[in-house]
Amino acid sequence: MKGLKFEPLLKSILWGGDKIISFKNLDMQMPTVGESWEISGVEGNVSIVAEGPYKGRTLTSLVEELKGQLVGEENYQRFGNEFPLLIKFIDAKQPLSIQVHPTDEIAQKQGKGKYGKTEMWYVMESDADAKLRSGMKSQLTPDEYAAKVEDGTITDALCEYNVKNGDVFFLPAGRIHSIGAGCFIAEIQQTSDVTYRIYDFKRKDKDGNERELHTELAKDAIDFTVYPEYRTQYTPAKNIPVDLVSCDYFTTSVYDLTEPMAADYSELDSFVIYITLEGSATLINEEGEELTIKAGESVLIPACTKEITIKPNEHVKFLETFV
């Protein structure tokens, strides 16, 4: 099997911008596109194959049919027919709400589904003044947190970062966070859409109403631990994989290639996803089948594929992630 590309699920959102359509080189117009769901198994938002012999099929139907051949035997035992990752591009023209996601345990306890949401951000070419928030900078009790939400000072307790292309933030479930205006981000997360909105800067929707807050649910979900640093530190390098994040839900590296290289997945019992950030390349599997990827595209490589040769067209930069 060659890799699978999917139709993007574009989300017009109050805070969205205009970067995604041009980044993905789409011949269309759509206002305030905040997110492109690249690969999704979320019920009601399941990705559809864009080309090839499986064109028109849903990702869920392919998992049901191909099972471990597509996702890996251990992953199929663990997740069944639910595809375990959700891949997005996010363009924030306005700041997103301050929010938190529960762990699997908390989500189940609160009746929000089987899975919580651990995620990571890779910052792409954002505005010069783009900022985001991640983690607590001062210790709070749950009651002090609730009081700060009430009086609008919760932002004072959070770490704020000026961001640039290549910055990485790991967001384990329970870490309070917010994407700021001007940020353009690739996001990898658990397959879950459970979000607790903590503070929304008192803005109003198109009907003049403030959006619902989830102060009490968030109180139980927040990890109030204070850490010295929330930005992931790594050393960029060319023509080798550079490890970024490894956790129970995904492992992610970044590749910045100007030379061909072979990726050996013979010992890996998982699908692999490439999220193309810059440039383009040709992917060649062990059967000699070729697939071109370019900036703005994401491709799902089935678990039954054991080697991929990556031939950059001058230059390619992409994220590799698997479970």
CATH 2.60.120.10 fits 4-221, yes or no: yes
**What span, in angstroms and rounded, lies between the C-alpha atoms of 318 and 321?**
10
Cβ-contact 211, 197 below 8 angstroms: yes
What integer pLDDT is reported at residue 208 of this predicted model? 84
Cβ-contact 271, 322 below 8 angstroms: yes
Cβ atoms within 10 Å of 13's Cβ, excluding its own: 17
Rg of the chain, C-alpha, whole Å: 20
Domain with CATH 2.60.120.10 in the chain: 4-221, 242-322
3-state secondary structure of 189: strand
What integer pLDDT is reported at residue 110 of this predicted model? 95
Mean pLDDT by 10 residues, the chain (323 residues): 95 95 95 97 97 97 98 98 98 96 97 95 98 96 94 95 98 98 98 94 83 92 97 98 98 98 98 98 96 98 98 98 98
Exposure letters 35-61 (e unless 16+ CB within 10 A, then b): bbbbbbbbeeebbbbeeeebeebbbbe
For the purposes of burial, counting CB atoms within 10 Å of the CB of 204, is it exposed (0-12), middle (13-18) or buried (19 or more)? Answer: exposed
What integer pLDDT is reported at residue 205 of this predicted model? 76
Of 163, 170, 97, the closest CA to residue 127 belongs to: 163
Query: 104-112: which pairs have CB atoms within 8 A and are 24 or more residues apart?
Result: 104/173, 106/173, 106/174, 106/220, 106/221, 107/192, 107/194, 109/220, 110/217, 110/220, 110/221, 112/194
> Which segments of 180-227 are extended strands (E)?
184-190, 196-199
Cβ-contact 59, 8 below 8 angstroms: no
What integer pLDDT is reported at residue 237 of this predicted model? 98
What integer pLDDT is reported at residue 256 of this predicted model? 98
Q: Which residue has the tokens 């109050």?
A: 14
**What span, in angstroms and rounded, lies between the C-alpha atoms of 50 and 4?**
8
Class of the domain covering 242-322:
mainly beta
Sheet with 168-171, strands from edge to edge, namely 9-17, 33-39, 85-91, 184-190, 119-123, 168-171
What integer pLDDT is reported at residue 24 of this predicted model? 98
H helix or E strand, kind and range, residue 94: none
**Residue 212 CB contacts under 8 Å (≥ 6 apart), including other chains:** 197
Cβ atoms within 10 Å of 137's Cβ, excluding its own: 14
Cβ atoms within 10 Å of 19's Cβ, excluding its own: 21
**What span, in angstroms and rounded, lies between the C-alpha atoms of 285 and 267?**
16
Q: Which residue has the tokens 């345990």?
A: 105
What integer pLDDT is reported at residue 207 of this predicted model? 83
